[in-house]
With several copies, the nearest count.
Chain A
Amino acid sequence: MREITLSKAVNEALAEEMRRDETVFIIGEDVAEAGTPFKVLSGLVEEFGTARVIDTPIAEPGFMGLAVGAAMTGARPVVDLMFGDFIFLIMDQLCNQAAKTHYMSGGKLNVPLVLRTNLGATRRSAAQHSQSLHALVAHIPGLKVALPSSAYEAKGLMKTAIRDNNPVVIFEDKLMYNDKAPVPEEEYLIPFGEANILREGKDITLIGTSSMVQVCERAAELLEAEGISAEVIDPRTIVPLDEETLLASARKTARVIVVDEGHQSFGVTSEIASRINEKAFYHLDAPVMRMGAMDVPVPFSPALEDLTVPTPEGVADMARKLVAGEMIHAA
């Protein structure tokens, strides 16, 4: 199968959906001629014109608000938010308006929009351009949250997001834009709420999101060399969350580590760990362990930044301890 970059995969998904449905449009800063600073959208304005690939002023709350209004009245906007860190600027429009409109209107109004943005540190971009803030939106009922972990996932999830009748937030990993993966030429969509088992195993389950799926896969390889068999699962969407698949794996392996690039405290790993603890408790041989990013603003210095995110070695280490029963001492 041909291999394309994550960047290209997102671009294809958008182009296909814009061809299929003329109510789909893109709005954001420098999305047209510039194709975004990450060049993910290059070429789209040439095909769809500036009426459907709309460059905005630097007014995130404003254009997010426009997207909500357009979505409520019959369009399907894809909002481009240049950095995930800017989500703080649009929280009111996203969480007080988009997320609640369907419910507050008693089901009468829909807000079918996609907010595409990114996450991920280690790009030396410092504290305001490196955050992974998906836990915040996952906390707000009415929003769906997708976390693609490869080019294949990015394309399939984006297409589903655009067709979904709700506000969907997709966080791409900034560091993965140039990563290639096999992506079929034929059209496909990836349904929300269906986790992907990337690797079957029996000793321990590694649940990873976004770029942390790669980290878990590499950890699994390290562990395999030592005779530890790790199962690797990517939930794909954290809202809705495919509890069944996660629970089945936890019940099978009896040991689980959840790895995510958001801050650990009050984050995604806490939610997934809690659900597994609650519903598979008596099957577990060890506590579900969480590995998130450190609870510190992301430092600029390379000497510090790399310490803040989970690594394959770190995950493998933790797995070894769990398998060896060493977490007993922690308790």
Chain B
Amino acid sequence: MADTKHNSEDYLRMYSQMVRIRAFEDNANQLYLSAKMPGLTHMYSGEEAVAVGICEALTDNDRITSTHRGHGHCVAKGADFKAMFCELLGKEEGYCRGKGGSMHIADQSHGNLGANAIVGGSMGIATGSALRAKMQGSDDVTVCFFGDGATAQGLLYEVMNMAALWSLPVIYACENNGYSEYTKTEEIAAGSITARAEAFGIEAHSIDGQDVLAVNDLTQKLVARARKGEGPFFIELKTYRYHGHHVGDINRAYYRDKEEEAIWKEGRDPIINFGKWLEGEGVASPEELKAIEDEIRAEAKAAVEYALEAAYPDASEVDMHVYAATDPATLRPDA
């Protein structure tokens, strides 16, 4: 695996964070299947090493932008189960007071600028966050997560051009899970995804997104360089989503076959494989890993129960937060 030095604590936190994502998604899926969740949601299961490998290379001051498939990024950037499940169920204690839901979920206090229901919609936001960092002399880095399908959006090329021209501290993280809804990537992406970034003079890498240490290692290096003004960077992370495009996409034989799913789930699972590696390295025993998982699953279950009981926002909230307040004092000439 990777060559950056980690201590056991780092390893175990990465493992835990991946398990947290999986546990969150399994519960979200159950909520949907048992008709307890309003609307739809997109599962991150299978892609955990991407979010965790990257976010573990970031500080709370670094920012990320997320996607419609955003629970994984949210957990990886430090969010709490309770506030996440409350958001998923439209409850007042949710991160967005129930106003955002799955597609806009974000623990804003940890630098998550939000999931986004417009494919590619946050590419400008991430790049703008990096522009602000550079302008204000702050050394934080922003990571922009998006899918392979999103590389079809012209906005990406507009913002990469500016990021390259101005050496902005932004990392474009393309989660290539092989599909854009019900369509294979090769049917909708001509040429090479990394070459598209390179054409703008951006250093691009393509790596195995199932290997959390490899992802973390590369990200650490790029983040350090981005902090020094050597950005932007582009990473293509090869990964796979275990579920359908969204929770309701159950019969997917017409666009991908079960064998393919089995190859990834059985042979390339980021959690299982990292678990085995931890065991092999003597970092943790199977029992210890099991205990970690049990504890996380119990926490998730409790959070779900809490969220199911939690209150909806009051009707009076419906027209709150359309506009942010501006302190009248700042609108005076002498302010």
A residues sitting closer than 8 Å to B (CB atoms) are: 23, 25, 29-30, 33-34, 37, 51-52, 55-59, 61-75, 77, 85-86, 89, 92-93, 96-97, 101-110, 112, 123-129, 141-142, 144, 160, 163-166, 186-189, 191, 294-297, 299-304, 307-308
Contact = CB atoms under 8 A, between A and B. Distances in A.
Contacts of B106: 105, 108
Nearest to A92: B118
B149 A58 contact: yes
Contacts of B136: 23, 74-75
Interface residues of B, number: 82
A102 B322 contact: yes
Given A61-B158, A104-B100, A96 B118 contact: yes
B124 A62 contact: yes
B234 interface: no
A62 B161 contact: yes
B331 to A, nearest CB: 6
B250 interface: no
Contact of A189 (B121, B189, B333): B333
A329 to B, nearest CB: 23
A189 B162 contact: no
Kindly list the 4 A-B residue pairs having the minimum CB-CB distance in the complex, ordered from nearest.
Answer: A65-B124, A69-B128, A62-B158, A300-B101
B94 A106 contact: yes
A112 B40 CA distance: 31
Contact of A69 (B91, B104, B127, B254): B127
A102 B96 CA distance: 9
Contacts of B324: 102, 107, 110, 112, 165-166
Interface stretch (B20-28, B257-265, B313-321): B313-321
A56 B162 contact: yes
A30 to B, nearest CB: 5
A191 B331 contact: yes
Contacts of A59: 152-154, 158-159, 161-162
Interface stretch (B180-188, B210-218, B277-285): B180-188
Contacts of B152: 57-59, 62
Given A106-B97, A301-B313, 4 more contacts: A33-B182, A55-B183, A105-B104, A307-B315
B155 A65 contact: yes
A236 to B, nearest CB: 14
A195 B180 CA distance: 41
A166 B323 contact: yes
A304 B333 contact: no
B326 A66 contact: no
B289 to A, nearest CB: 35
Nearest to A93: B124
B90 A300 contact: yes
B302 interface: no
Nearest to B190: A57
Given A61-B124, A72-B129, A304-B317, A101 B326 contact: no
Contacts of B90: 124, 300-304
Given A58-B149, A92-B121, A105-B96, A73 B113 contact: yes
Nearest to A160: B331
Contacts of A105: 95-96, 99-100, 104, 106, 108, 114
B63 to A, nearest CB: 6
B117 A129 contact: yes
> Among the interface residues B102, B118, B130, B334, which one has the most CB atoms of the partner chain A within 10 A?
B118
A66 B162 contact: yes
Nearest to A57: B152
Given A65-B159, A71-B128, A103 B321 contact: yes
B318 A294 contact: yes
> Among the interface residues B133, B182, B321, which one has the most CB atoms of the partner chain A within 10 A?
B321
Contacts of A93: 121, 124
A103 B39 contact: no
B135 interface: yes
Contacts of A308: 318
A301 to B, nearest CB: 3
A89 B121 CA distance: 10
